[in-house]
A and B are shown apart, each in its own frame.
Chain A
Amino acid sequence: MLRVENLRKVYKNRKKNITETVEAVKDVSFECSPGEIFGLLGPNGAGKTTTLRCISTLIKPTSGNVFIDRYNVLDDEKAIRSRIGFLTSDMKLDGFFTPDYMMDYFGALNKMNKKEIQLRKEYLFNELQMSDFIYKKIDKLSTGMKQKTAIAISLIHDPEVIIFDEPTNGLDVITSKSVTDFLKKYAQAGKTIVISTHIMNVAEKICDRFGILVEGEMKEIGSLENILDNNSSDSLEDVFFGYILPDPEGEVNHAQ
């Protein structure tokens, strides 16, 4: 079980002796249970990546906390990292190596022995249909192959919680479908999955619950039905655009 409690992240930029503060994430709270896929929706700059980076322990929250079972990101960084698989669009793999070598490398860093790594590789290569390119250098792979490789690496240690930032971004339809199918299957196996996206149809297809994040604030949270009822709308896309575009006619009535 993943629980984000009153998460807040403030960045300070110092330019010409003037300190500018930007509140990227404002008091965000949500939770995601095992077997559930939670979709964090929001436009660019909404604070999605910052929220996910805080969950992954890559950066520290200014206030608030993130819990996975009894562990939290402030006190148990290593325990949290051993329980999450994290992937963001700005994280790249070293193109010099092959997917097979990278799996061995990250498996070893995650304290797995050779046998465990081998079994896990066989499972993930098979599930993600990667067998054709595991010995090719990552530099030579297509975008879809690279994304599959990144997903496999983030899951090498069989984490309980999976945090994926824009997992289908830039992928062709077939690869995108294979990724979403894989995530659904993984959730059915009892994993806790949080994805961020701005592609509404992907979100609608695979997520059980949603959070709409705009300018660092969680504007909506709940199941698709709840959000549509609250906003008297029949489309998640309309609710989403209602928050991020100017609303001349007031077509969507937000719950707030």
Chain B
Amino acid sequence: MLSDSIIILKKELRRIFTDRRMVAMLVLLPLLMLPVMYSVMAKMGSSRDSDISSFRSTICIYEGVGNEDVMGPFIEAISTINTELEIVQLSEVDAVKLAITEKDKELLLVMPDNFHESLTGCSTFDIAVYFNSTADYSQHAYSRVNDVMNSLNGDIVRERILERDLSEEMLTVFTINEVPMKYDLAKEGSVIGKIISILLPFFIIIYLFVNSMKVGLDTVAGEKERGTLAVTLVNQVGRLSIVIGKMMSVMIAAIVGAASSVIGLIIGSRYFMGMFGASGAAISSYSMSTMHILQFAIVIIPLAVLVASMVLIVSTFARNTKEGQGMIMPVYFVVMIMGMATMQTGDVAPKWMLSTPIFNSLLVLKEIFMQGASWSSIITASLSSIVFAAILIYLTLRMFSSEKILFRI
């Protein structure tokens, strides 16, 4: 039986890997597309940031009544920002607010009347800062003004303390981790592993599934559509051999495609990992020991078998590839939700997740990337993938014996 499966596997792999379009779609495209996509995203992000920070915003100030003599430090502080300052009158405040809403001006500071009394009397007063959260320039000006105003606040407090002959240190009761030392006691490599563990299992399952779909829907539904399946069925080959051979070819193509996508992702990661606070260099420094690579293989191969079996059963049931594509989409969404849920799961996953196929494999992959997976969870995840894949293969085999499904009579 196995020799027949291997004959079928070889033919299926020949069909996949000697087809230039399929190789381009499965291997080359993700390998080139992902780094290009992420570098373009990163370039666009950095050019947007530099555009925002170099933009000269218009900040309007209403000084309030009776504050002429105390506005100096406030104006001076705001002038340190790259800005066009406009002093406005009370009658103009509403028009300025509208201009901010319309994104014509960036910010309006409204000082309370007679706040100099609060200043000298050491009581708190509130400055209203109007901005537009949907305008990048306004949002940026707001955060810059917040920074300089907080710094001015600190300067004024410091002045008051010095006037009273008190030590500035009074303001700080204690500090945390100010002495330069290594405080994070996480295992070497596990910090970057934590970031990788959030992202990679999700990408792995998506790439496995998408690549299985690219190949798997054609392998039975496509053959039915082209009328080529019956030719194999009238030969001296068992239907189980056909199912196993086809499943293995889908699995291998899915693994090759996913590996190429993950390599593309790793190359592109030096651009997008910045979003998660990690540098490209930190990613390059991440490595897995032989043991972790072995653990990874023990989990990923049964997971790929399970995914290939899921696609194969849909492919067998469908009349043609188009119908198969329609049928597989709900399954794909469920798998995608599982991947996303894994990203949100904390260190201790709920029990139901640990006993659900795909979920448990993704959780174990997370642990492997953080270099802390237990052998019992690895074996449990692998076994559950194998058991569910076996059930799906059995059902696919039943479909292969059904004239109604196979020939749609």
Contact = CB atoms under 8 A, between A and B. Distances in A.
B230 A105 contact: no
B227 to A, nearest CB: 4
B322 interface: no
Nearest to B228: A94
Interface stretch (B66-74, B232-240, B297-305): B232-240
Interface stretch (A54-62, A171-179, A226-234): A54-62
B227 A109 contact: no
Given A94-B15, A96-B19, A108-B7, A58 B230 contact: yes
B234 A56 contact: yes
B4 interface: yes
B160 interface: no
A185 interface: no
Contacts of A88: 230
Interface stretch (A29-37, A78-86, A197-205, A209-217): A78-86
Interface of B, secondary structure class, is helix
Contact of A11 (B7, B231, B238, B409): B409
A105 B11 contact: yes
Size bracket of the B interface: 20 to 34
Contacts of A78: 236, 238
B88 to A, nearest CB: 74
A245 interface: no
A90 B234 CA distance: 13
A31 B237 CA distance: 27
Contact of A92 (B15, B226, B233): B226
A108 B6 CA distance: 10
B279 to A, nearest CB: 46
Contacts of B230: 58, 88, 90-91
Query: A-B pairs with the 5 shortest C-beta distances?
Result: A92-B227, A86-B234, A109-B235, A91-B230, A109-B237
30 contacts: A11-B409, A56-B234, A57-B234, A58-B230, A59-B407, A59-B409, A60-B403, A81-B234, A86-B234, A88-B230, A91-B227, A91-B228, A91-B230, A91-B234, A92-B226, A92-B231, A94-B15, A94-B226, A94-B228, A95-B226, A96-B15, A97-B11, A97-B15, A101-B14, A106-B235, A108-B7, A109-B7, A109-B237, A154-B234, A157-B236
